[in-house]
Amino acid sequence: MERPELPLAQLHAFVVLAEELHFGHAAARLGIAQPPLSQQIRRLEDKVGHALFTREPGRVALTAAGRELLPAARHALTDLADGLAAARAVGSGRAGSLRIGFAASLALTVLPGLLRAFRERFPGVRLDIREMTTAPQIAALRDKTIDAGLLREPPTDEAGLAFRTVLTEPFVAVLPSAHPLAALRTVRLARLADEPFVLLPRAAGPRLHDQITGLCEVAGFTPLVAQRAVEWQTVCALVETGLGVSLAPASIRRIRLKGVAFRTVEPNARTRVAVGWREDDLSPLVAHLLATVSRDPGSAR
């Protein structure tokens, strides 16, 4: 048997009358005249197929059918109110879920301050944070498995994606603490020409990888890569064991390993950290993230 649809306006009128048990009081509370209220109740009773109220001069009471319907009617109206509030919150970007990819080294610098500033402004938004290198972040943005990414040296030719610089930072030489060059405050890159290098694989971040090898080539040599590691913390650990040296963004100095020294290099250049998103993404959550970056860049340092 097909279940009748009960219009929410009629349910609202029913609940108010059930609480007031007086047509005049209920109509005033609803902001309507008594005849329209009576019509709504009659229509609802027609839908149910039974009287919901007994009507006697000076007295209105719920019938057994009315008493049975009242909890369900209240529940339906509460669900609607909750749903409308949730929809408004998500639509305005005050609630919902935001998926953010991030490069592991940024967990030591950009990420904490940015997330703290965002959460202070939008505490109702659930943040889904995913660690991944630059190339996987680009793929995840295109696949729509993340909404935004914090990455190093983003590509310049990714149609449909946009990038905004968060900060830039210099490079440092990563050396075993016992290495002779660790005694210097500044290391000329040319002095690393004969050293084995520990680097990230190019596929993890092509532009950053090429920037590092390009700096070496400007210094007159092509780095001899002895080991590769996907994360900078692993790179530092391999340097600590003496497997080689590295050239890395200065922020990795926050990786505290007793057997590793970080030294300024000459000549130097700066590497770019950016937030990336899909150009056609109209999500207010992404807009709020970008506004947080622009409003409080100091939080990302």
The band of 91, judged by pLDDT with boundaries at 50, 70 and 90, is low
For position 298, what pLDDT does the model report?
46
Three-state DSSP at 171 gives strand
Q: Is the pLDDT of residue 95 over 90?
A: no
The band of 8, judged by pLDDT with boundaries at 50, 70 and 90, is confident
Both tokens assigned to 153: 């040296």
Mean pLDDT of 11-28: 89
In 3D space, the residue among 129, 126, 120, 169 whose CA is nearest the CA of residue 148 turns out to be 129
Q: Residue 132 corresponds to which amino acid?
A: M
Matching residue, tokens 């993404």: 281
Domains along the sequence of the chain with CATH: 8-92 (1.10.10.10), 96-165+273-300 (3.40.190.10), 168-272 (3.40.190.290)
Which range (28-32, 33-37, 54-58, 149-153) has the least confidence? 54-58
Three-state DSSP at 22 gives coil
Mean pLDDT of 151-173: 91
Q: Is the pLDDT of residue 297 over 90?
A: no
- Evaluate if pTM is beyond 0.85: no
Q: Is the pLDDT of residue 6 over 60?
A: no
Nearest-angstrom CA–CA distance, 170 and 232 = 15
Q: Is the pLDDT of residue 44 over 70?
A: yes
Nearest-angstrom CA–CA distance, 176 and 236 = 9
Matching residue, tokens 């990414």: 149
For position 92, what pLDDT does the model report?
63
For position 79, what pLDDT does the model report?
82
Mean pLDDT of 170-195: 96
Nearest-angstrom CA–CA distance, 110 and 18 = 57
For position 93, what pLDDT does the model report?
66
Mean pLDDT of 264-289: 91
For position 301, what pLDDT does the model report?
44
The Cα-based distances of 13 to 30, 46, 174, 269 in angstroms read 7, 15, 73, 71
Both tokens assigned to 229: 């590691």
Both tokens assigned to 246: 């590295």
For position 260, what pLDDT does the model report?
96
In this prediction, what percent of the chain has a pLDDT beyond 70?
A: 92
For position 2, what pLDDT does the model report?
44
Q: Is the pLDDT of residue 107 over 80?
A: yes
In this prediction, what percent of the chain has a pLDDT beyond 90?
A: 50
Q: Secondary structure of the chain: what % helix, strand, coil (to 5)?
A: 50, 25, 25
Mean pLDDT over each residue of the chain, to the nearest integer: 88
